[in-house]
Structure 1
Amino acid sequence: MENSTQESHLRSDNSITYESPYPLYAMALSSMPSRSNLNHQRIAVGSFIEDYTNRVDIFSFDPETVSIKTQPTLSFDHPYPPTKLMFQPNRKSPSSSSSDLLATSGDYLRLWEVRESSVEPLSVLNNSKTSEFCAPLTSFDWNDIEPKRIGTSSIDTTCTIWDIEKGVVETQLIAHDKEVYDIAWGEARVFASVSADGSVRIFDLRDKEHSTIIYESPQPDTPLLRLAWNKQDLRYMATILMDSNKIVILDIRSPTMPVAELERHRASVNAIAWAPQSSRHICSAGDDAQALIWELPTVAGPNGIDPLSMYSAGSEINQLQWSASQPDWIAIAFSNKMQLLKV
């Protein structure tokens, strides 16, 4: 990934740009190829319009020809801007079903069936006891070991674990003292969350009474915004602090002290993603319009760690996904553009 300047619908051998009529935020890459063409990968992007009516657009990407195929019949209205989009992980095989499942969060957790030429709403999962009010969902994560399970995080300090096959709440936990901003599964029954209270906490569904705090912000009450659990090595996770240029790398075996702090961004970091096939690579993106790829050393030197490679976008990058089915490609979102970069 080399430095490059952004141009509308730029297409090179190493990148391609999708331009939306709306500002973009949420973004998802399917973990399986499309059934109609095994070379294609489905991508969903969500608009960020400060209004009730928003949009989700789904299109396909062919990495061999570096081309994007838009499918207008796979666009649908979404209430409020989606805070996260995610395709069902680890579908068994391209032929195991005729459709994809897509989850979205905003006011509620919603499930959609993505067919070849249409999107059908499947369910709206709402755990609010009063019908007039619901606490917005900040994020969610789909359990890739037990895909019937989705965990959501909310501004009401709770995390809710759903059994989406039955459409019921498995459990709801008061997870933090303040708003919960992100949630990530580690194992089938173990998840972690980050909050405005400045802590990273790990929960085990087999012991709901207890949680383990493995990190707290150095300055009290500095919110932690995002959390990424390293699926290749579950000892490691990464988090980012509000208005900070740092990515904090944690080892759950040695709580409280980060194993590394990556500090080469020149402005706030907004998104982080571990490489899907390597335990030592992570990508970060931020308000400095940079996407940086890092290789974590076994021992960090006294002067910190420099990124392995960097990419410059046209404006602040607010979202980032590393493709599990096409690990050579990273997707970033900035302004009204979604860009796929070959790494």
Structure 2
Amino acid sequence: MSRDPENGLKSALGGGGSEGQLQWQAPWPLYAVAWCAASSARGLARLALGSFIDGPSGNYIQIVDLVPGSDPPKRQSEPRHTRSLVYPCTKLLWEPAYEQSLERSRRDRLASASDFLRLWAVSEESMVLLASLKASNRPEQTAPLTAMDWNEVDRSALATASVDTTVAVWDPELGRIRTQLIAHDNAVYDISFDQSTAHHFVTCGADGSVRLFDLRSLDHSTVLYESPTSNPLLRVSWNRQNNHYLLTLPSRSRLAVVLDIRMPAVPMAYIGSNEAPLNALSWSPSSANHLATADMDGHVALWELYQTVPKSEVRSFAECSLEGPVDNLAWSPALPEWIAAVVAPSAVHVLQI
């Protein structure tokens, strides 16, 4: 990842104009966003978007194709697919890409989390619902899902988090729960696998803690971090290039917390410089030391971590301002020069690094 502080963010994230970025308006308010890694091998950059509509009118998942290698990025003139569902998606997630999947099928699997866990098969021609899964057989006990993550080492492990304090680990091939556990004392807001193993995941929640679990021994967990103010923790993300590092985001905070799990009691760094609360964060998929944040004022920033740098000296090396609160970020795993930002209420910006 190049750094050019003299040219500001234009060289890194496309600046404030149209150079280096693509933007368009969806027909409804948006929240969820996810890049498909497998489709890039077939000459497409595929993006899934989820609406966030209150009330009885229903919600939507939309699939949009972009053209890799285009500068600035370009998208196909019309969405590839649009499907309806009742409740908004809190998370969209494509199946992790692997060599055999690229050879086996031209269909990509997409998971959506809302009232149920839904699995979709997406191809050029169609988008088909494969399964609609819930952890309880009793309708009155269906609790909304808040987050999910798919293990890249063991793709038979897809974990969902819920407001009812539980985590469920699913086998998406068989369409059934492998295990379910009470993870926190209150709602679980996020979950993230250690993508270097098949066993470890972390969660965070309304009780203000980050907890570490091992699928081989779920009778106990390790509390890695507790918010000093008991502030709920909304996001947790495990660094995919260095499994010592975690990132968590307290509610209504302008600072994200970087943790080294070897010394979790003392945060490694605090990330954030603007006065507005952070809404979204993402580790780089290709670098252990880079991450992105986005806030309520529309600022997107890139950061670089060095273990030897004091906490007070962690600064962003690139920033841009978008026209509205940034509700979500997705950093493309297959095309790491592209970051998608969802800007309230209904704009999508694809920023090119």
Which category describes the TM-score, using the shorter chain as reference length?
Answer: over 0.9
Corresponding position of 2:96 = 89
Name the counterpart of 2:168: 160
Structure 1 segment 26-37 matched on structure 2, within 5 A: 26-34=32-40
Is residue 323–residue 330 contact of structure 1 (8 Å, CA) maintained in 2?
yes
Q: 1:259 to 1:303 in 2, by over 3 A?
A: closer
Structure 2 letter corresponding to 1:139: A
2:45 counterpart of 1:41: yes
Q: Aligned with 2:102: secondary structure? A: coil
CA–CA separation in structure 1 for the residues paired with 2:66 and 2:134:
33
Q: How does 1:1-343 map to 2 (within 5 A)?
A: 1-2=9-10, 4-5=15-16, 11-12=18-19, 14-34=20-40, 38-52=42-56, 53-65=58-70, 66-72=73-79, 74-92=81-99, 93-186=101-194, 187-220=197-230, 222-301=231-310, 303-335=312-344, 336-343=346-353
More off after superposition, 174-183 vs 75-84: 75-84
Contact preservation (8 Å) 2:268, 2:311:
no
Q: CA deviation at 1:70?
A: 4.5
SS at match of 1:184: strand
The Cα of 1:163 is off from its aligned counterpart by 0.8
Equivalent position amino acid for 2:164 in 1: D
Q: Do the aligned partners of residues 19 and 114 (structure 1) sit closer, same or farther apart at CA in structure 2, a change above 3 Å counting?
A: same
What percentage of aligned pairs have identical amino acids? 37
- Whether the aligned pair in 2 keeps the contact of 1:274 and 1:282 (CA below 8 Å) is yes
Q: Match for 2:106: what amino acid?
A: S
CA distance in structure 2 between the partners assigned to 1:214 and 1:70 by the alignment:
47
Aligned length: 335
Give CA deviations for 1:287-309 in whole Å, capped at 9, x if unaligned. Answer: 12111100002223363311010
The answer for unaligned runs of 5 or more in structure 2 is 1-8
What amino acid is the match of 2:244?
R
In structure 2, how many angstroms separate the alpha carbons of the residues matched to 1:153 and 1:300?
34
Distance 2:148 2:180 in 1: 13
List gaps (5 residues or longer) in structure 1: none
Amino acid at match of 2:157: R
More deviation, 65-74/50-59: 65-74
Q: Deviations over 1:93-134 (max 9, x none)?
A: 533212010000000100011121211100011111412341
**2: CA distance, partners of 1:120 / 1:302:** 48
Give the letter aligned to residue 114 of structure 2: G
In structure 2, C-alpha distance between the alignment counterparts of 1:283 and 1:124, rounded to whole Å: 33
- Any conservation in 2 of the 1:44–1:56 contact (CA below 8 Å)? yes
Equivalent position SS for 2:125: coil
TM-score of the superposition, structure 1-length normalised? Answer: 0.94
C-alpha change, 1:302 and 1:182, in structure 2 (3 Å) is closer
Q: Determine the C-alpha separation between the residues in 2 that align with 1:283 and 1:141.
A: 19
Q: In 2, Cα distance between the equivalents of 1:60 and 1:73?
A: 7
Q: Which amino acid aligns with 1:33?
A: S
Amino acid in structure 2 at the alignment position of 1:19: Q
Give the corresponding residue for 2:6. Answer: none
CA distance in 2, matches of 1:95, 1:127: 33
Contact kept in structure 2, 1:5 and 1:314, CA below 8 Å: no
CA offsets per residue over residues 269-314 of structure 1, 9 Å max, x none? 1111111111000111111211110000222336331101011111
* CA distance in structure 2 between the aligned counterparts of 1:204 and 1:302, rounded to whole angstroms: 30
Is 1:267–1:288's contact at 8 Å kept on the other side of the alignment?
yes
Tell me the alpha carbon deviations over residues 189-234 of structure 1, each in whole angstroms, 9 at most, x when there is no partner: 11100000000000001111110101000102x1000011001000
* 2:39–2:108 Cα contact (<8 Å) kept: no
89 and 73 in structure 1: CA distance in 2 versus 1, 3 angstrom threshold = same
The RMSD of aligned alpha carbons is 1.5
CA deviations over 1:48-104 (Å, ceiling 9, x no partner):
100341011101111322210154451110221100001111232533212010000
Task: Name the CA distance, whole Å, in 1 between partners of 2:215 and 2:69.
Answer: 42
Pair 272,302 (structure 1): closer, same or farther in 2 beyond 3 Å? closer
TM-score, length-scaled by structure 2: 0.91
Give the Cα separation in 2 of the matches to 1:148 and 1:45: 24
